[in-house]
Amino acid sequence: MSAGITRVLHSGGSAWTYELSGTAPYTILFQGQVLESAWPSDSYTISMIGYDNEPPALEVLDSTESLPSPVQQNPGFLTLQWRGRSDAFIYQPDYKVGIEWEMLPPVYESGRGYYTYTTPWLAARSHGAGGIEQFRVNNRTFLVLYNSVHINGCRLRNRVLF
């Protein structure tokens, strides 16, 4: 049985009483933070400044439910930031996978002078060594394009520098 709030009563001022349903003990959260971790009763009263006219939005879990991990609640990402170079053509963010570097989508020089790249959700990636994520940004003063052509099952590759 999952927990729930069956009724909320205004106890006066900024105090509110919540009637709970489920299997005690309860975990009570406000804005993702645990207020009570083993609340034994089926009612919970809280007084919070600024909540005179409406109750604070609480979340209740009973003993059959568990807290989601912080990674599930707030999957992490990283924003790389750097200053541009006048001789750069593109900036290449890379992500380390084992001992190799994986290329991420490039950021093109536009004359802005300041650049950012936001990584994909780190929780979705499991390549980090011991939970350590490594990134780097290299500037390229030229653009390398590869043309590939397949003829009779053989791939011919041509490299063009700009």
Closest CA to 44 of 31, 68, 23, 27: 27
* Phi-psi sector, 28: left (phi>0), alpha (psi -120 to 50), beta: beta
Cβ contact 24:56 at 8 Å:
no
What are 137's two structure tokens? Answer: 């940004």
Q: What is the pLDDT of residues 38-75, one digit of tens each?
A: 899 999 999 988 889 889 989 898 888 887 655 555 66
Closest CA to 2 of 28, 21, 16: 21
- pLDDT of residue 155 exceeding 70, the answer is no
Cβ contact 16:9 at 8 Å:
yes
- In this structure, of 44-58, 73-87, 95-109, 121-135, the range with the lowest mean pLDDT score is 121-135
DSSP output for 111-146:
S-SEEEEEPPPGGG---SBTTB--EEEEEESS-EEE
Rounded Cα distance, 95 and 115, in Å: 17
Q: What is the pLDDT of residues 24-41, one digit of tens each?
A: 999 998 877 889 988 999
Residues ≥6 apart with Cβ < 8 Å to 144: 159, 160, 161, 162
